[in-house]
Structure 1
Amino acid sequence: MQRGTGRNIFVAATYGATLLLGLILGQNYADQQGSKPVSTLVPIGLSDHSYKIQQALDLIIHSYMDSLDIDSLQNGAINHIIAHLDPYSSYLLPNDTRAQTEALEGTFEGIGLEYFNLNDTLLVVGLITNGPAEKAGVKVGDRILQIDSTQVTGQSLTQAVIKKLIRGKKGTPVYLQVIREGNLIEAPITVIRDQIQVSSIDVSYMIEPTIGYIRIRRFGLKTAQNFKTAIADLKKQGASRLILDLRDNGGGYFHIAIRVANEFFKDKKLIVYTEGAHEQKREYYSEGNGSYAEGKLIVLINEGTASAAEILSGALQDWDRATIVGRRSYGKGIVQEQFDFADGSRINLSISRYYTPLGRSIQKKYIPNWSNMTDYAHMYKGLWALDTTLAQTQMFETTEGKQLFSGGGITPDLHVSVDSNTLNLLYQEIVGSSYLEQFVYERFTRRLPAYSIENFLQGYHLPQQEYDTFIDYLAKKGFVINERKQEDLLELIQTDIEAIVGRYYFGREAYFKVKNRTDDYVEEALTLLKPLPSDTLSTDLDSSLPK
């Protein structure tokens, strides 16, 4: 979130009934067109509001009967007050701050390797194209026995420990001892760590001869740039219609969502505006030079579509630029600013509310759930109760006469009913258990296939016999599934296994291509985008007319 003015912000933190800690923070805002939001915190002294807080803190530090861990007290105090502001403001410790930054910026220092812990052995299941691991000769299917001098097989190491072993400063080496196709490679593979770039675009491909498909996972630092490149590539392949998949996109950088929205308009259009108690109304417009300013557009959303993804969806819906397909979005209409402390910790503070071009607020109603405060072990988890009911309030009308409402998320133009089987607790438990991956990697990873991704997508479907084998596999793990439920879950689990096999053999793109083959949202979008029979007839008649 970018800002053009400077001001001071006061944040006070309290912890329990005895600890009170005050912080007065100074804010430096980055220019709106900057590449990255930059917010720094510096103490600027005490105000009348903070004097009592500081006095109480000094009293505790100098007079309490036992020695204190001041850092721990400060972290607890800040977390306590921030958690009580709203459901979205948060206080992050340095490790969490670093993880958030890496996710949004799409970059970290490592070797570009994805693994799965299979029977206490690290199985390589994915590689970043042209990344350090791939360049060094690591291959999908390799089993890592040792990282540097640390044996990893049979050790039940946590992900945090393995991550610490693999990641490190750019330019430093890491040595991997591996088994390939059952044979030990005697000399360790030397991999030189480098800066790894991870795209926030999951996949971009031609789903039909004239229809492109793009799925955006989050709005990171390079999403707009990557999106523009993807659009250009699809247009070269003949795409004149587009499916933009924003399902389970939880948001990201505010200004990046605006830059992506710009690509869909040929004129200067209001994308969103923000306003808060300490924030004057500010409007954000497209530049009017969109790379996909014309052409049919379908946007897919669901309950996991939130924040910046809702900004984009709302703008496209308000201007009648796209048809929104799916299920009602999450409903987060609040903007956070990131404030960094010198020790690497961070406050994500809600500073304003945002509104769609027509003036809709899509924020869900939220109220404090004070009864949860009795559980001190999880005192912040579930503190806020969100109203998930659809509370349509004020009605707005688009230029084309479409009626839209504020409150509780983005309501799609075309609703897709939920598959009850996906909500089945047994299915969700199976997916969450990682037994699907274990089954695939134990049975289908002996060697990579000789056929192409196209042949795989067109010709491979999980045989009934393999599905039955998986059901037996689950039974040994404690999941007993009756015959009726086996039939209900057949298509879902078959698709899941096929997608995991595709990802292992051919990468992330194959995974989504397989999933999209039977996806109800995608099927609805394709139906809307395909030309009507009358359109085809008109085209055929036109082509037969004499010139």
Structure 2
Amino acid sequence: MKKSSDLFAAAILSIFLVASSFGQPSTVSKSASKFAKKNSVTTKANEVVTIERIEKDFSEALTLIQDNHYSGKRLEYNDLFKASIVSMLHTLDPHSSYFDSKEFEEFRSNQNSRYYGIGATINDLRDPSGKVIATFIKATFKGAPANRAGLRYGDKIVEVNGKPMLGKPYPVVRDELRGPRGTVAKLVVERYGTGKRENIEIIRDAVSTPSISDAYMFRPGIGYISMTGGFNRTTYDEFRRAMRKLKARGMQHVILDLRENGGGLVNQAYYVANTFLESGQTIFTQKGRQRRSARSFAADNPNPDNTPIVVMVNGSTASASEIVAGALQDHDRALIVGENTFGKGLVQNPYMLKYGSMLLLTIAKYETPSGRLIQRDYSDGNLYNYYTNGGTLDEKNKPKKRKGAEKLTDSGRVVYSGGGIAPDIYAKMPTISNQRYRIREKLSDPIFSFALNVAFRKVKGLERLTVDRAIVFDYDLKNNDFAIDESVYKAFKEYVIKNYKISAAKIDREKEFVKRSLRGELVTAAYGSQTAFRVHREYDSQLKRATVAMPEARRLFMQRQKSAKNRRNEQD
């Protein structure tokens, strides 16, 4: 036991030193070398800590665990190894982290806007007692292996690689469908319309997960870009294509939706912000210890786009997406609508380690053009508090008064540092009670079941809503496509009362939810899951508020243009 403990302690120590020397400037590597030579550091309390002491303490602790902990003989050394490193990093800041080789591969796949699998969304269907009947295909993605193999909405997954899947919830089926690129998934599916079973072989391959899930004309003259997939290697290229497409369709104003966008590659955020800012305008300033990490990043666009912008944000808008929102707000280039952003103002850099692992280390903090540091508080070093106590609402559910340093936008509007970016127009997403949430949960299976029957011509009188065909991608959804009128709602209510024993009163209370969800299901079957989100956006109160705010965004833009013209005239 003692030998393995010593080896483990040595491994922990070596990772600390390796992390300081791989992929960093020579100054950092030299510091690591000096530490290795001196074999000691002095703490603030003038206590000398040597490498030998660290090895000894760690080895003794691990030996005690091995000898006395009830699961000591079944230790997972990799888990202990990771936990030690991650705990060390989280004493520094909340966003430095360590990835083992498997996690690092997933990290790289996410940054490349893709993953490996069959490329389909699935969902299970439960009977009135709550027992899983089966898991079904809901949609495939354009060009993905599942789409090429002919899988369609309503296909019941009977077997995967010889394993029976009937009665299995979708997470179990999902895990069986996943696998490395180039491997084969052998499926037995039952077509919902005919009941016929088919054997289908799918070779797992790369599946695109774009940063921009959709871009379309939300209202006449108003384009909408859903940039909720993070900032990855393809983000700016996707953004340029989306802008070109919408302008060709008559876009005069644009809504850029950054809600749920947790950030990603800073250079991609720079390029997006650079689209709308003039050469020389600061996009963000990065401040760190390393020479290359301390600098300002200014726009270099001699012909910026002049489309008036509303940027939508919420509590999950973080990091790189806050760079975009902050830059456009500080330069009065966009109106920010929604809820306070998360408040992540730290920049990480990846450092490759041995055996394919990686250290993601915070190397700098960034400020918006006005000088705002938007990082939320982590002074107590408590991760739970960091992620849960950063809210910006008071007890009366109203925005809290900001306590950070006061800054000014280009036109003199007041903005504040600390705790994220406050929107110019606050719009909270409405919530529902727990009781209504439970009712909606109970209705989800009846909605899916009824939609399947409607899509495959099994409900008399609703044949006009049949979708017994493959998905048509890139469809421009019309208001009357799969409209759920009173005849459809009445048929649904009768179906649920008869088969699921849910009262008419409960169904009627959620009438809007039912009609929206039924239409979403049928649009999913016909045009795919991304197009189906357009149905739900019609009920999005924050998006409606952003649309109403567009004239104000235009006034802000015109005022900015006038001020810029006056400055140029004064210089002349």
Q: TM-score range by the shorter chain?
A: 0.7 to 0.9
Distance 1:190 1:309, change over 3 A: same
Counterpart in 2 of 1:56? 57
Instruction: Give 1:62 shift.
Output: 8.3
Residue of structure 2 in register with 1:244 after alignment: 256
Q: Give the secondary-structure state (helix, strand or coil) at the position aligned to 2:187.
A: strand
How big is the shift at 1:125? 0.6
Give the equivalent residue in structure 2 for 1:111.
118
Label 1:286 to 1:253 Cα distance change in 2 as closer, same or farther (>3 A).
same
Q: Does 1:335 align with 2:347?
A: yes
Specify the alignment match of 1:196 in structure 2: 207
Q: Alpha carbons of 1:114 and 1:78: their partners in 2 closer, same or farther (altered >3 Å)?
A: same
* CA shift in 2, pair 1:490/1:416, >3 Å: farther
Pairwise CA distance, 1:187 = 4.5
Alignment of 1:52-91 (within 5 A): 52-57=53-58, 66=67, 69-91=76-98
Secondary structure of the residue aligned to 2:173 is helix
The structure with the larger Rg is: 2
Q: Which residue of 2 aligns with 1:443?
A: 450
Worse-superposed segment, 114-123 or 127-136 = 114-123
Q: Are residues 121 and 342 of structure 1, via their aligned partners in 2, closer, same or farther at CA, if it must alter by over 3 Å?
A: farther
1:504 to 525, 529, 536: 525
Change (3 A) 1:128 1:61: same
2:400 aligned with 1:393, yes or no? no
Which consecutive residues of structure 2, in runs of 5 or more, have no partner in the other structure? 1-8, 42-49, 68-72, 126-131, 393-399, 457-464, 468-474, 556-572
Structure 1: stretches of 5+ with no match in the other structure? 1-17, 32-39, 371-379, 535-547
8 Å Cα contact 1:327/1:411 also seen in 2: yes
Give the match's secondary structure for 1:239. Answer: coil
Structure 1, 399-408 or 383-392: larger mean CA deviation: 383-392
Provide the residue aligned with 1:288 in structure 2.
Answer: 301
What secondary structure sits across from 1:170 in the alignment?
coil
Residue 122 of structure 1: SS of its match in structure 2? Answer: strand
Deviation at 1:115, TM superposition (A): 1.1
1:415 equivalent among 399, 415, 426: 426
Would the aligned equivalents of 1:364 and 1:388 in 2 still touch at CA under 8 Å? no
Query: CA 1:322 to 1:456, structure 2 compared with 1: closer, same or farther past 3 Å?
Result: closer
Per the TM alignment, residue 395 of structure 1 is displaced from its structure 2 partner at its CA by: 1.8
Structure 1 pair 338–65 and aligned structure 2 pair: CA distance change class (3 A): closer
Other structure's SS at 1:75 match: helix
SS at the partner of 2:250? coil
3-state SS, counterpart of residue 445 of structure 1: helix
Q: Percent identity?
A: 26
Q: Does 1:365 align with 2:366?
A: no
Query: What do the CA deviations read for 1:191-248 (whole angstroms, capped 9, x no partner)?
Result: 2222221212121001123221101111122111111111111111121211111112
Q: In structure 2, do the counterparts of structure 1 residues 457 and 269 end up closer, same or farther at CA, with 3 Å as the change threshold?
A: farther
Partner of 2:312: 300
Code of the residue aligned with 1:460 in structure 2: it is A
Worse-matched range after superposition: 229-238 or 494-503 = 494-503
Structure 2 length as normaliser, TM-score? 0.74
* Corresponding position of 1:7: none
Asked whether the equivalents of residues 161 and 185 of structure 2 are also in contact (C-alpha less than 8 Å), the reply is: yes
Matched, 1:205 2:226: no
Decide whether the 8 Å contact of 1:203 with 1:508 is kept in 2: no
Q: State the distance in 2 between where 1:89 and 1:500 align.
A: 41
Please tell me whether the aligned partners of residues 368 and 384 of structure 1 are also in contact (alpha carbons under 8 angstroms).
Answer: no
Q: Does the 8 Å contact 2:451/2:518 carry over to 1?
A: no
Could you tell me whether the CA contact under 8 Å between 1:247 and 1:302 is conserved in 2?
A: yes
In 1, the alpha carbon distance for the partners of 2:297 and 2:166 equals: 53
Correspondence 1:141 to 2:158: no
2:538 aligned partner: 517
Q: Any residues of structure 2 matched to 1:424-439 within 5 Å, and which?
A: 424-428=433-437, 433=441, 435=442, 437-439=444-446
221, 225, 247: which one pairs with 1:235? Answer: 247
TM-aligned CA distance change 1:444 to 1:497, over 3 Å: closer
Note the C-alpha offset of 1:143.
1.1
Shift of 1:466: 6.5
Instruction: Please tell me whether residue 102 in structure 1 is matched to residue 103 in structure 2.
Output: no
**Contact 2:114/2:208 (8 A) holds in 1:** yes
**Which residue of 168, 171, 174 corresponds with 2:182?**
171
What is the aligned partner in structure 2 of residue 351 from structure 1?
363
Corresponding residue for residue 35 of structure 1: none
Distance 1:65 1:259, change over 3 A: closer
Q: Which residue of 1 aligns with 2:164?
A: 151
**Secondary structure of 2:254 counterpart:** strand
**TM superposition shift of 1:384:** 6.5
Distance verdict in 2 for CA 1:456–1:383, change over 3 Å: closer
**CA distance in 2: counterparts of 1:497 and 1:267, whole angstroms:** 49
* SS of match in other structure, 1:503: helix
Report the Cα distance in structure 2 between the residues aligned to 1:281 and 1:83, rounded to whole angstroms.
23
1: CA distance, partners of 2:104 / 2:438: 30
- Cα drift, residue 106 of structure 1: 1.7
Match of 2:397 in 1: none
The partner residue of 1:322 within 317, 323, 334 is: 334
> What letter is aligned with 2:241?
T
Measured in 2, the distance between the counterparts of 1:430 and 1:85 equals 44
SS in structure 1 of the partner of residue 342 of structure 2: coil
Amino acid paired to 2:527: F
**Does the residue aligned with 1:309 lie in a helix, a strand or coil?**
helix
Offset of residue 94 of structure 1: 4.5
Contact 1:366 1:386 in 2 (8 A): no
Q: Aligned equivalents of 1:19 and 1:494: distance in 2? A: 62
1:254 equivalenced with 2:266 (yes/no): yes
Cα separation, partners in 2 of 1:406 and 1:496, compared to 1, 3 Å: farther
Is contact 1:86-1:384 (8 Å) kept?
Answer: no
Counterpart code for 2:40: D
State the AA in 2 paired with 1:461: I
- SS of 1:188's equivalent in the other structure is strand
Name the CA distance, whole Å, in 2 between partners of 1:276 and 1:81. 20
Distance 1:78 1:245, change over 3 A: same
Q: What CA RMSD, in Å, does the superposition of the two structures yield over aligned residues?
A: 3.8
CA distance in 2, matches of 1:351, 1:456: 49
CA distance 1:91–1:158, shift in 2 (3 Å): farther
Distance 2:419 2:65 in 1: 48
1:132 aligns with 2:138: no
User: Which secondary structure state, in structure 1, belongs to the residue aligned with residue 452 of structure 2?
Assistant: coil
Once structures 1 and 2 are overlaid, which stretch shifts more, 294-303 or 50-59? 50-59
Report the 3-state secondary structure (helix = DSSP H, G, I; strand = E; otherwise coil) of the residue aligned with 1:359. Answer: coil
Pairwise CA distance, 1:317:
0.4
Aligned residue identity for 2:121: E
2:259–2:316 contact (8 Å) kept in structure 1? yes
Q: Answer yes or no: is the 8 Å Cα contact 2:124–2:169 preserved in 1.
A: no
Q: CA–CA distance in 2 between the matches of 1:522 and 1:383?
A: 28
